[in-house]
A and B are shown apart, each in its own frame.
Chain A
C-alpha cells in the first residue's frame, strides 16, 4: 500500500511517516461484518430450532393416551331392558352405554352409587367415545350381555391432559376443567396401575371427532395418500413428457417460448389461485364432487407439474451431448435416442424432482380449503370420489380448536406430517447421492 513509497529503512527507523490508512477501523469493520453474517445464520438456526422445539415439545405426548381399565358389567337391564336381544339391533344401537362404563368406574373407585354428584364427576373422567366402543363390542358378540369384563376405556381429554401434567393445578379448581376430587381419583387409579398411558393407536386410525381423545388423522392420511397417488399418476408422466418435448424435440419458436415462460410463471403463482381454478373448473364446471380427494389430487397435480418439469429438464440437460451423438450415430431415431438412452440416464434426477414435488404437494393446504376438503369426515373414504380431508387440512382444523388436548393433537399431527416429509426428502437426497453421475 502507500507504505511502499517510503524507503523500508525509514519505516523501520521511525515509523512516523507511516500514513494512517485506518487499518484498525477497517479491520474492526471487517470483524463486525463477519459477525453480522454469523448472527444472521445463528438467527436462522435459532428460528428453526424454536419451531421444531415448539412442535415436538407440545406434540410428543400425543403419541400416548391415558386409558382406564374399567370392569364393565354389560347389564341386561340397561342394554336390553325388553329382552329382545339380537332381534332388535336398533335397540342395541341406541342403548345408554356410557352408563355401563360409569357404573364400572364408580364400583372401582368405591363411591356410593347414590351420591349423584360424585357419580357424575366420575363419569366425566371417561371419554364419551365409550359409547361407540362398548356398542361395537356388544354388536360383535351379543353373548357378553350379562357378563362383567375388564375393558380399557379412554380417559376424557381433560383427565388425559391432567395426567400428562399439562394442567396447572395451582389454579383454583373452579377455573379448570378437572376438579380436585377427579385429580385425587386419577392419582389413586394411577397408583393401582388401573389408569395408565398407552401408545395412541387411535391417533393414526381414527377419523374426525369433536372429542380430542378420540380424534385421529386416519382419514386425513388416507385422503393424502389418495391425492399423492393421483399426483404421481398424472403429474409424473405429463411432466416428464412435457420436459422431453421442450428439451429434445421442440423447435425454438414463439409457441415453445410461451410454454417456457408459462411454466416458470406457474411455479410462482400463489397456491390459493390453483384452489380457485379447481373450484371453478373441476367443481362448478365439470361437476365433480366437493371434498373429494380426486379434485384435490387434480389441483395438486397442476401445482406440482412445474416443479417436476423444471427438475426433469435440468436432469435431461445434464446428460452430455456425446451420449446423444453416439446413439444417433449408431442409427437410432431421435425417439429411440431419448427413450433408450437419455431418459434412463436422467432418471435419478427425475425421481428426485418428483419426490420433492410430491413433498410440496403433501404440505399444501390453501387450495384444498377452497375445494371443500375442510369437511368433518368420520368414516374412511373408500374411493377418491368420497369426501376426505388431508393431513395439513386436518392440522388447520385442529389448530382452530381451543381445547388444550387439541393443541397436543395438532402438534402430534404436525410431527406425523413432518415425519412423512423428512422421509421423502431424505429419500430424495439418498437417491441423488447414490445415483447421481457427474460427467
Chain B
C-alpha cells in the first residue's frame, strides 16, 4: 500500500475517532452537557488528534529514513570492487540498480522465463517496458535490484502496518481517557498553539535554509577558487568548458559584476528618486482628495506590473528608441548617422528600472511625509512661509531620516532586480564608465550560470551561490539599516 492510501486510511480513522469521542463524551456525561469540562466537540478532537498525529509523524519519519537504510544495506551487499569506486560512481550505480528494480517490477512471468533462458538481455527487455537503463547492466546488478525491491516491499508492508496499528491504538487509548472531568479543551488547544508556533518558525527556517544552502555551496566554490580572487578579481571569464575537461579553470572576478549592478542601480535611482519624491510631495501636500484617489492607485499599478513586462518593454521599445534617437542626434551634430547608445545598455536598463521604482519611492515617502505632525506645517505657515518653503525648509528636513530609509529600501530592490537587467543590460562583464554601453550585473550572471545543463561540482555553477550570498548580504545590510531608520523615525513622531 502506498503512502497516500495509508494517509487516507489514517484520516478516516481520525474522523471516526472524532465521532466516537463525541458520542462517548455525551454518554459519560449522561447527556448533561454541563457536567463535562469541555464541550463535546473537544473530546472528539482530542481523540482525532491522538489518532492521526502520532501515526502521521511515524509515517513521515519512516518515509525519510527507510530509503537511506535500504540504500546503505543494498550498497553493502555489492561486490568489494564496486564499493571501492569513488563517490560519484556510487550514485551512478545505485541509480542504475534503482531503475532495474523499477523495470523488474513490471515484468510478466513470461518475460522472466525469457530472461532466464537467455533469449533476451536485460537491458533491451527493460527498454521494451519503457525503462531506459543508462549504460550496460553488470552481472551483480539484477541480484542487488531484486534485493532492493524485496526490501522496499517489506518496508512498505511494515510501514503500513505500523502506521495503522498506531492510529488504532491512539484512537482506543484516547477514547478510554474520556471522563467528564478530563480537560480535553486544554489538550486540544495546546496542540493548536504548538502548531501555530511551528508555523511562525517557518520564516526563521527559510532564512536558515537560505544561509546554510548558500554558505555550503559557496564553501565548495572557494575550495577551487580562492576567495581573494573572487572578491577582488577584475576579470569575469568563467569559461564554460566541456564537461570533464580538467584545465577549464576560468576567472571569477566579482568586481565588474558589482560595478555593473551598482551603476545600473544608480541610474535607476537617478530616474526614480526625483520623480517619486516630487510626486509624493505633490500628492501629500497639494493634491486634493479627488486627485489623490485617482493618481495614487494609478502609480501603484506601476508597482504591480511584473518585472518581466518591464524587461520586455526595455528590450523592444526603450532600447531601440534610445538607439535610434542617439543616431539622430549624432547625425545632427556630426552629419554622420551612427548611434552611440546601444540597445542593451546601462542607460536602458537603469531607466526602465527607474520607472519600476517610482511607486516604491512615492508611496513610501508619501506615508512618511504624511506622518510629519500637522503642528509643524501650521507653525511654518503661520510665520508667513509659502507652501513650498514650508515643505523645503520644515517638512522635508523633518521627514529626511525616514525618506533616506525609504530610498535605501528602494536601492536594495534595484540591486536585487533580475528580469529587467537580464533582458536589457547585456551579458558582457566589463568595467566601464560609459552608460551607453552594456554592462552586466550579479543577478544576470546568477541566471546565466544556472540555466541550461547543470553539473553541480564545477566552479562554473557553484559561483552562482557565491554571487547569491554576496547579493543576499548586501541587500540584508541595506534592509536592516533602512528598517532601523524607518522604525526609529516612526517612533519619534508617534
Partner-B contacts on A (CB < 8 A):
1, 26-27, 29-30, 32-34, 36-41, 43-45, 47-48, 50-51, 54-55, 58, 237-239, 241-246, 249-250, 258-259, 261-266, 268-274, 276-277, 279-281, 284-285, 302, 305-306, 309, 333-335, 359, 362-366, 369-370, 372, 374, 392, 395-396, 399, 407, 410-411, 414, 417-418, 421, 425
Contact = CB atoms under 8 A, between A and B. Distances in A.
Nearest to B278: A40
A107 to B, nearest CB: 40
B140 interface: no
B176 interface: no
A285 B483 CA distance: 33
B203 A270 contact: no
B196 A51 contact: no
Contact of A242 (B200, B275, B302): B200
Nearest to B306: A363
B206 A270 contact: no
A266 B200 contact: no
A51 B451 contact: no
Given A55-B312, A270-B418, A359-B304, 4 more contacts: A55-B309, A363-B309, A365-B307, A370-B451
Contact of A365 (B384, B419, B465): B419
Contacts of A302: 206
Contacts, number: 252
Contacts of B196: 241-242, 244-245, 249
A335 B189 contact: yes
B58 interface: no
B341 interface: no
Contacts of A43: 275
Which residue of A48, A58, A258, A276 has the most chain B CB atoms within 10 A of its CB atom?
Answer: A276
A78 to B, nearest CB: 32
A268 B412 contact: yes
Given A265-B480, A272-B443, A41 B282 contact: yes
Nearest to A49: B298
Which residue of B189, B307, B419 has the most chain A CB atoms within 10 A of its CB atom?
Answer: B419
Given A29-B388, A335-B189, A262 B419 contact: no
B306 A262 contact: no
B200 A250 contact: yes
B308 A395 contact: yes
B312 A392 contact: no
B213 A281 contact: yes
Q: By DSSP majority rule, is chain B's interface helix, strand, loop, or mixed?
A: helix
Interface string B271-309: 000111111011100100000000100110110111111
Nearest to A39: B278
B5 interface: no
A226 to B, nearest CB: 18
Interface string B328-365: 00000000000000000000000000010011001000
Interface string B207-233: 101100110110000000000000000
29 contacts: A29-B386, A30-B386, A32-B388, A44-B302, A44-B358, A48-B301, A51-B310, A51-B355, A54-B317, A241-B196, A243-B200, A245-B196, A249-B193, A249-B197, A259-B204, A262-B203, A265-B207, A268-B475, A276-B210, A276-B213, A277-B209, A277-B210, A279-B450, A280-B214, A285-B213, A366-B419, A392-B306, A395-B308, A396-B308
Interface residues of B, number: 86
List the 9 shortest-distance A-B pairs measured between CB atoms, nearest first: A270-B416, A37-B282, A363-B306, A280-B213, A40-B278, A241-B199, A33-B388, A245-B196, A366-B418
Contacts of A399: 308, 311-312, 315-316, 423
A417 B316 CA distance: 18
A253 to B, nearest CB: 13
B298 A48 contact: yes
Contact of B456 (A284, A369, A370, A395): A284
B206 A365 contact: no
B157 interface: no
Contact of A370 (B217, B317, B446): B446
Contacts of B416: 269-273
B446 A241 contact: no
A305 B362 CA distance: 25
Contacts of A365: 306-308, 418-419
B201 interface: yes
B409 interface: yes
A273 B472 contact: yes
B440 interface: no
Interface in B383-405: 384, 386-389, 391-392
A58 B316 contact: yes
Contacts of A309: 203
B451 A374 contact: yes
Contact of A30 (B279, B313, B388, B409): B388
B206 A51 contact: no
Contacts of A266: 203, 206-207
Contacts of B313: 51, 54-55
A265 B476 contact: yes
Interface in B225-258: none
B297 to A, nearest CB: 8
Nearest to B446: A272
Contact of A333 (B185, B359, B413, B451): B185
A309 B200 CA distance: 9
Interface string B430-468: 000000000000010011001100001000000011001
Contacts of B392: 33
A365 B305 CA distance: 12
A269 B207 CA distance: 10
B192 interface: yes
A369 B447 contact: yes
A306 B391 contact: no
B203 A273 contact: no
A369 B279 contact: no
Given A29-B388, A335-B192, A270 B419 contact: no
B115 interface: no
